[in-house]
Amino acid sequence: MRESPSPSGAAMDSFLDRHRLSADAVLAVLLAVPLGLISVSLLRASDSPLSLRLLAGLGLLVLHACVVPRRLRPLAAYGLAAAAMLLLVALPPLHDPGGAYYPAVLLPSTLVFGLLLYTASGRLDLLRGLLCLAVALAGVGLLLARLWDPASWGGSSGSYELVSWRLGLSVGLIAVMACLWSLGRLSRMRGLFLSELRAKAERAEADRARERMEATRTERDRISREMHDVVSHSLAVMVSQAEGGRLSDPDAPGAGVFATIAEVGREALRDMRGLLGVLHAEHGTAPQPGLAVLSDLLDQVRNAGVHVAVQEVGDARPLRPAADLTAYRVIQEGLTNVIKHAGAAAQAAQADLTLAWRPDGLHITITDDGDRPPAEGAGVGLTGMRERLSMVGGTLEARSRPGAGFLLSATVPYEPRSLSSSGS
């Protein structure tokens, strides 16, 4: 069963921990009211010498005062209390006006020593806690030596035999000291256990917050990449069609509208790249288009006016989802760049797409005859393709062709890089 502090208990513990000195001072007063007043009244009623009563009162005062710093300085408080108890044990017996004698260590205020032993064993480590227990047992030995023969200090064992008195006194005092010490150690273990629970809860909450942030960042990056792939392609087609419409009849009344559409589309492309630049990072995968719907993409590109010739070499093999999506996005980006860089001449642009199913993976090659190839490594598109391919263990090569045109070559492995390398 998992132990956890209640909200009210946790709030009280937190308050007492923040105000240790004040709380212990209040406790010292509360103990002094019943125990201290009775002890003082007994000292005042005694007809023992004044010096003896003053020394006994001093020892009791030290005991009560040690309650205040018991949690801030447990070892020092316990040491002073042990010294005060030693003083009370060593003092001669006090004399009562009724004719009875009793040792000063039997005054009610000496019960405070049990609280100090409990606190010391609960606050200190095991070695120093055992030292405190040894001091307490040594004090018990001195007290037993003092009370061993009641006749020596004017006392009486009552109706009990002397053996019963000694056995009961020894077992009782030792049991009380051991019990108080054990309760202190138990409270220490409980405190450490609750502290560990709180620390684990804080670490778990921090881990959950980190996971939420990572999931948000991953989703944001995925959306940014998909936005670039989808929106950039659509805007490029829109701009190409608008330019084609404008150039087909420059003097027509709608030519100005086509020009405005083309200009707004180009501005939207620039703005989108600028905004998505801050989201440039790896992204998670989700169900997306693959090579199964490649014909739809080719139809869109052909409708934009680009003549695409497709050649497939080798026997097609099934790709894992991440590789399938990557292959589709690489082809989409490559053909979109053909439309984009062909500009107003998109109606006459020519592109060749080759899908080569080789033993080491799918090799994708896209060539075009455009006269404005993009610069090597520039733009979000090429960088995004490289990142996609690197995540699935693929490679990308993009360069200008001799004379005119551009070459885009990508390799998409069938299996992850670790599996393919171990299989070889």
Instruction: Answer whether 399's CB lies under 8 Å from 376's CB.
Output: yes
Residue 294 covered by a domain: yes
| Structural tokens at position 273 | 């790249």
Residue 260 covered by a domain: no
Distance CA 187, CA 30 (A): 22
CATH code, domain with 327? 3.30.565.10
Give me the domain span that covers residue 365: 288-424
Residue 313 covered by a domain: yes
Instruction: Answer whether 401's CB lies under 8 Å from 370's CB.
Output: no
* Residue-level pLDDT, tens digit, the chain, 424 residues: 444 445 555 556 566 666 778 888 888 899 989 998 999 999 988 888 999 999 999 999 999 999 999 988 999 999 999 999 999 998 988 888 777 778 888 899 999 999 999 999 999 999 999 999 999 999 999 988 888 877 666 666 555 677 787 888 889 899 999 999 999 999 999 888 988 898 899 888 888 888 888 877 777 777 677 766 667 777 777 777 777 777 777 777 777 777 777 777 777 766 666 556 545 544 444 446 788 889 988 988 888 778 899 999 999 888 888 788 889 989 988 888 887 766 555 556 788 999 999 998 999 999 987 655 444 444 556 777 887 788 888 999 988 877 777 889 999 998 765 444 444 4
Angle between helices 74-90 and 50-65 (to 10 degrees): 160
Distance CA 417, CA 391 (A): 10
Residue 424 covered by a domain: yes
Q: How many domains does the chain have?
A: 2
167-173 contacts: CB < 8 A, separation 24 or more? Answer: 169/144, 170/144, 173/140, 173/143, 173/144
Domain boundary at 156, 190, 205, which? Answer: 156
Domain boundary at 156, 175, 191, which? Answer: 156
Residue 363 covered by a domain: yes
